[in-house]
Structure 1
Amino acid sequence: MDAVRHHAFGPPETLALEQVPDPTPGHGQVLVAVSAHGVHLLDTAIRRGATVGPVPLPTLPAIPGREVGGTIVDLGAGVEHSWMGARVAAHLGPRPDGGGYARHAVVDVDALHDLPAHLATADGVAMIGTGRTAVMTLEVAAITAADTVIVTAAAGGMGSLLVQAALSAGARVLALAGGSDKVSLVEDLARRSYPAAQDWQGSCAVVDYSAPGWHVDALTALRGLGGSATAVLDGVGGDRGSSAARLLRPDGRLIVHGWSSGDRNEFDDDEVAHGARITARAVVGPRAEPPGDLRRYQEEALARAASGQWRIHTHQVPLAEAARAHRDLEERRTTGKVVLV
């Protein structure tokens, strides 16, 4: 079968499409013919040879990826025959060998999610990893209509879901995105999140935080939304994440769900940033222990997508061009969830 592997840790060019033997499902497992392969920043870190949280580095050569969607084509012993032919999505778990960037993947039956007919396979894959983290983040954030929320990387897979969820909760949202194309994408997302009779611009402002002086633009936008920020949902870290945190009001809360910049910011409970005392914070990310049952979060994310509550945007790249997908993701040239197809 076709599979993307790397024989050394390093840049995206280490990824290459190769022929490897088809895997065989064991007891309690199925074989999925994969048509959508989720790409995560964790994949890029492991490819570079960086150890992230509890996930050890794989033995090389290795097939990256842990999020898959496709059709079941073979069953292991002990699996009900009714699974044969089902269209499913699954997360392969924290195992070091990955295995997701391949035409076939062996999946434990307990990890399978049956996809509704109207939900695209790529969208289902987006919900298995990124969607579940969004649900976890929202559970920690507890956004209400009383909040004014800042979302960093608002055009990304996570950010676009968080913007929609905050608007649905009745909160006011300052969305931060890098570049005019990403700003336009988030504006369109906000516009479509509101009925025609309502003015989305009264509840959502989008600022290009790759532009010089963006912090001043953000302050102006916050005033237009009615005041200072009560919550920041940050997946970027680094200078932009720190700058966003400094927009919090004194009793604001910072929720970190990642650090795509590569720089993880540490905030002490007693830290004061430009007068804003960060009195409540939580971290949901690859180095943090996820709260609760992961399957519950996956099911809720899939339900939101299937009901239309969440509009899913995917950045699709052919499997053979996995190196390009990694490069684009690391250089922040993608929008939405990156999926190999």
Structure 2
Amino acid sequence: MHAIVLHAFGPAENLVHEKTADPVPGPGQVRIAVAAAGVHLLDTSLRAGHQGPAPRPTVLPTIPGREVAGTVEALGDGVDGLWLGRRVVAHLGFRPGGYAELAVTEVERLHEIPENLGFAEAVAMIGTGRTALGILQFVELGPESVVLVPAAAGGIGTLLVQYAHHAGATVIGLAGGPEKTARVRAAGADLALDYTDPGWPAEVRARFGSVTVVFDGVGGEVAREAVALLGEDGRHLVFGWSSEGIQGGGGGAFVEGLSESVLGPAMLGRAGGPDPLRTLELRALAEAAHGRLRPALTRFPLAEAAAAHRALENRATIGKVVLEP
């Protein structure tokens, strides 16, 4: 098979498209002919050599990627033969191997893809979608809500805008540049603003006075300005800091009584079921299958994984970045 192999930590150019041995499914595993592989911002950090929240060090050489969708084409011992030929999607956890034409994973990680959902859409929902649904557990949105979504053209941001719109909330989305703000408006935002325009906070205040919820995956100056717009009893839900770290005093945006970090154990504790991550995955796929959430996608050929990483790091993408062999 062909795969993207990282032999040395460093820039995106270190992602090499090359021929490698086909993976062999072990007991309880399946091999998937990959039709779409998800690219996550964390992938770019791991590629550069930064460990981040990964539970174990990355061992080189490695095939990056943790989200795949495709067709089951081989079974390991003990796997029900009914899986063969099924369209499936799976999150591989922190075991890499997704940027490839073939990937192996445990059968219990599989979800059958609904008939009306494509491979790329399914792979977006299995990772980005489950995170969005996890974040949304922490707030009830309705017609009285005024929601501010920084990075609203991103994978998670697009889904948060859609969900808030369908809940009847007033939605303000921030994005960089006219193309992205147009996409945010099309996703359901009542007001789409360019965060590179220093006047955006004043426009929000003039139109709405204050906001009730900030969904923050950005951090940095945008987060500080967004938090300053929160009204009484407002909520600042933090799920990332792509601009700069904001927790533990990293920039002054994390405010006691207003801000809450919602990733990790806090999110899983609310999801319920014996496997909380799987609970969120099922919810995300169901929302997409029913058309309530529609992931935005930026697609790259598998061989152009380096270009996909560069685009993601330079904020030149819209929605979820997906590689297609």
Q: For residue 79 of structure 1, report the CA deviation from its aligned partner.
A: 0.7
Equivalence for 2:228 = 246
Contact kept? 1:147, 1:172, Cα under 8 Å = yes
Q: For residue 249 of structure 1, report the CA deviation from its aligned partner.
A: 1.2
Separation in structure 1 between the aligned mates of residue 113 and residue 71 of structure 2, nearest angstrom: 10
State the TM-score, normalized to the length of structure 1: 0.88
Contact kept? 2:51, 2:58, Cα under 8 Å = no
Contact kept? 1:6, 1:16, Cα under 8 Å = yes
Paired residue secondary structure (2:94): coil
Separation in structure 2 between the aligned mates of residue 215 and residue 146 of structure 1, nearest angstrom: 20
The more displaced of 131-140 and 250-259 is 250-259
The residue type paired with residue 9 of structure 2 is F
Paired residue secondary structure (2:187): helix
Separation in structure 2 between the aligned mates of residue 340 and residue 288 of structure 1, nearest angstrom: 31
Separation in structure 2 between the aligned mates of residue 37 and residue 19 of structure 1, nearest angstrom: 17
Q: For residue 177 of structure 1, report the CA deviation from its aligned partner.
A: 1.0
Equivalence for 1:30 = 30
Equivalence for 2:126 = 128
Q: Percent of counterpart pairs with the same letter?
A: 48
Q: Deviations over 1:201-241 (max 9, x none)?
A: xx7111110123222223234x2xxx311110011111112
Structure 1 unaligned spans of 5+: 191-202
Listed as ranges, the matches of 1:291-330 within 5 Å are 291=269, 292=271, 293-330=276-313
Separation in structure 1 between the aligned mates of residue 225 and residue 145 of structure 2, nearest angstrom: 19
1:283 to 252, 261, 274: 261
The residue type paired with residue 229 of structure 2 is L
Contact kept? 1:252, 1:278, Cα under 8 Å = no
Separation in structure 2 between the aligned mates of residue 50 and residue 220 of structure 1, nearest angstrom: 41
Listed as ranges, the matches of 1:1-341 within 5 Å are 1-95=1-95, 98-190=96-188, 204-221=190-207, 223=208, 227-261=209-243, 263-266=244-247, 279-285=257-263, 290-291=268-269, 292=271, 293-341=276-324
Separation in structure 2 between the aligned mates of residue 311 and residue 6 of structure 1, nearest angstrom: 32
Paired residue secondary structure (1:236): coil
Separation in structure 1 between the aligned mates of residue 259 and residue 28 of structure 2, nearest angstrom: 40
Contact kept? 1:315, 1:335, Cα under 8 Å = yes
Q: Would the alpha carbon gap of residues 128 and 161 (structure 1) be closer, same or farther in structure 2, given more than 3 Å must change?
A: same
Q: For residue 140 of structure 1, report the CA deviation from its aligned partner.
A: 1.4
Q: For residue 94 of structure 1, report the CA deviation from its aligned partner.
A: 2.1
Q: Deviations over 1:141-175 (max 9, x none)?
A: 33233211111111111001001111111111111
Contact kept? 1:156, 1:336, Cα under 8 Å = yes
Q: For residue 267 of structure 1, report the CA deviation from its aligned partner.
A: 6.7
Q: Deviations over 1:34-78 (max 9, x none)?
A: 010000011011001111124333111111110000000001111
Paired residue secondary structure (1:32): strand
RMSD: 2.0
Q: How many residue pairs align between the two structures?
A: 318
Q: Would the alpha carbon gap of residues 52 and 325 (structure 1) be closer, same or farther in structure 2, given more than 3 Å must change?
A: same
The residue type paired with residue 201 of structure 2 is H
The more displaced of 276-285 and 316-325 is 276-285
The residue type paired with residue 170 of structure 1 is G
Separation in structure 2 between the aligned mates of residue 48 and residue 135 of structure 1, nearest angstrom: 29
Separation in structure 2 between the aligned mates of residue 26 and residue 145 of structure 1, nearest angstrom: 51
Separation in structure 2 between the aligned mates of residue 248 and residue 138 of structure 1, nearest angstrom: 18
Structure 2 unaligned spans of 5+: none
The more displaced of 169-178 and 77-86 is 169-178
State the TM-score, normalized to the length of structure 2: 0.93
Contact kept? 2:33, 2:101, Cα under 8 Å = yes
